[in-house]
Structure 1
Amino acid sequence: MLNPRLVTNRRLSGLRVFAVAARHGSYSAAASELCVTQAAVSQQIRNLEASLGCRLFVRRGSGMMLTTEGQVLLPFAEQGLAILERGLDRLAHPAAGPLQVSVLPSLAARWLMPRLWRFTETHPQLELRLQPSQQLADFAAGEVDLAIRYGEGHYPGLHSELLMSDTAFPVCAPALATRLQRVADLISLPLVAGPEYAGVSWANWLALSGNEHILPQCRQLTVDDGNLGLEMVLAGQGVALSRSVLVADLLRQGRLCRPFATELTPKHRYYLVWRPDSSRLNDITMVREWLKQEALESRE
């Protein structure tokens, strides 16, 4: 008596040959695709037919035609083999999980998060996991797949691509705008700012506007997180020197006002950064293209 497992293995092997031969309608063409001899194809088909107890092909001229039984079997064989291939591919290439994206907390809160739903809608197959942090993520340790960094774009061992530029200028709540008819009026309100970075500071902005002489009379409040500073300003607690990328949506919504036209150009810009040898380059490319499109639309 034949071993049932042996019969099953033979059938699986024969089914693949059967599906290829049926697609070509030729044993010789199937042999060429499978890199075996025509005799081997013929033998596999005969074995499969013997195990099933029916004919699957009949010769018609120089080709092979499916019998009624062969026509019944073919769609099931093709579907079964396709499912098996997907299972084997899943074992060889397990799901990579969410794409890890490092980003500054302020940029995540004020620019990226309000737009992220659009990525989720258009790319439901890829999950993004944001890592808001002031610290540079460690690519070497595998902590992150893609980062949005604010700097000069030079990162040894990594690829970088310009995402967007910004400017810096004062913003305030609409209720305070009427109190700021001229730059000197800033003396009467708290000036909110983050630590000086990339040349963005109240001292530099006041110097650019020709009003550096009022700096000693101003009350400055420094916060570590630019988003926290904006929350204070939205609550009417002062005037913030903020970057255009972070406040563009708030200005369009009328939640903030820009009392003065003078603007600083920071020394740094936003860059996309990733490892050139990453195993997830296709996913990274997908996210990069989406981010660049969002950056382009946000400037319009």
Structure 2
Amino acid sequence: MFAVAARHGSYSAAASELCVTQAAVSQQIRNLEASLGCRLFVRRGAGMVLTSAGRELLPFAEQGLATLERGLARLEHAAGPLQLSVLPSLAARWLMPRLWRFAERHPRLELRLHPSQQLADFAGGEVDLAIRYGEGNYAGLHSEWLMSDTAFPVCSPALAARLQRVEDLISLPLVAGPEYAGVSWANWLALSGHEHILPRCRQLTVDDGNLGLEMVLAGQGVALSRSVLVADLLRQGRLCRPFASELTPKHRYYLVWRPDSPRLDDIATVRDWLKQEALQDRE
């Protein structure tokens, strides 16, 4: 009540904000003054003005209220699901098939995914944790390396027999996303020593890597995809890798979160699980 009364310079205005009577505010202030042994307010006209002791006490009272509000906000936020931002392609091809293991191991911690191409808004409190594909330097945020990948052509088993040589790519549509982190058909063909065939190739560009893989699974072309996204499909025999050459992208996958997050314990739980899943893929 002291801080509210000081802000308004009025017991009646403080009472209105706090939904109590003016007498209750006055009594609480008198009790505080009695316990401190000094006056905090003096009446001036129709209002109440802080004494020198009151002015000295006010910043500490406001700081205490702010700390309490942050603590209550943390308790409220910690009660809900942990919000995880992730690229749609990584969510669909790598994370979703593994989530049942997380649910079995941590039944009391709900994980809610936010698939998006946009960077997560940590400042606005939209997410608690993100998997970002980049260089790992994010101002004001903590980041830890999760996994790396490579990029190479993949196709359906039905098309694999038609790809005996790199030059055979001329006869099939080449599926790729926009060039990012150095991953492009032009760079892969240059790496394999066949950049001269690029002008004769038909390229289909899609914004979503998962959509490109769906096209290739349907036998509609050859995709230049990332190892993280196609590892399960290769193990299952649903896709084939016709050529050995592979690009090393300039970027890697990082786990990112606010160092002052109210959910550091839950973030650590999810981080440890994600790192274990990534480690199993490398073994």
Give the alignment's TM-score, normalised by structure 1: 0.69
What's the counterpart of residue 128 of structure 1? 111
Letter of the 2:211 partner, please give it. L
SS, match of residue 83 in structure 2:
strand
Correspondence list, 1:1-300, <5 A? 93-94=75-76, 96-300=79-283
Deviation per CA, 1:177-227: give whole Å up to 9, x if none. 000000000000000000000000000000000000000000000000000
SS, match of residue 197 in structure 2:
helix
SS, match of residue 298 in structure 1:
helix
Q: Distance in 2 between matches of 1:222 and 1:183?
A: 20
Q: Which runs of 5+ in 1 are unaligned?
A: 1-89
Letter of the 1:203 partner, please give it. A
Deviation, 1:93, is 3.6
SS, match of residue 283 in structure 1:
helix
Q: How many residue pairs align between the two structures?
A: 211
Query: Quick one: percent identity of the two aligned structures?
Result: 87
Letter of the 1:118 partner, please give it. R
Deviation, 1:296, is 0.3
Letter of the 1:291 partner, please give it. L
Query: What is the root-mean-square deviation of aligned Cα atoms in Å?
Result: 1.4
- Moved >3 Å (runs of 4+): 90-95
SS, match of residue 192 in structure 1:
strand
Q: Distance in 1 between matches of 2:235 and 2:219?
A: 18
**Are residues 91 and 199 of structure 1, via their aligned partners in 2, closer, same or farther at CA, if it must alter by over 3 Å?**
closer
**Are residues 128 and 206 of structure 1, via their aligned partners in 2, closer, same or farther at CA, if it must alter by over 3 Å?**
same
Q: Distance in 2 between matches of 1:177 and 1:236?
A: 10
Deviation, 1:96, is 2.0
What's the counterpart of residue 80 of structure 1? none
Deviation, 1:92, is 9.5
Q: Distance in 2 between matches of 1:177 and 1:101?
A: 37
SS, match of residue 138 in structure 2:
coil
Letter of the 1:108 partner, please give it. A
What's the counterpart of residue 30 of structure 2? none
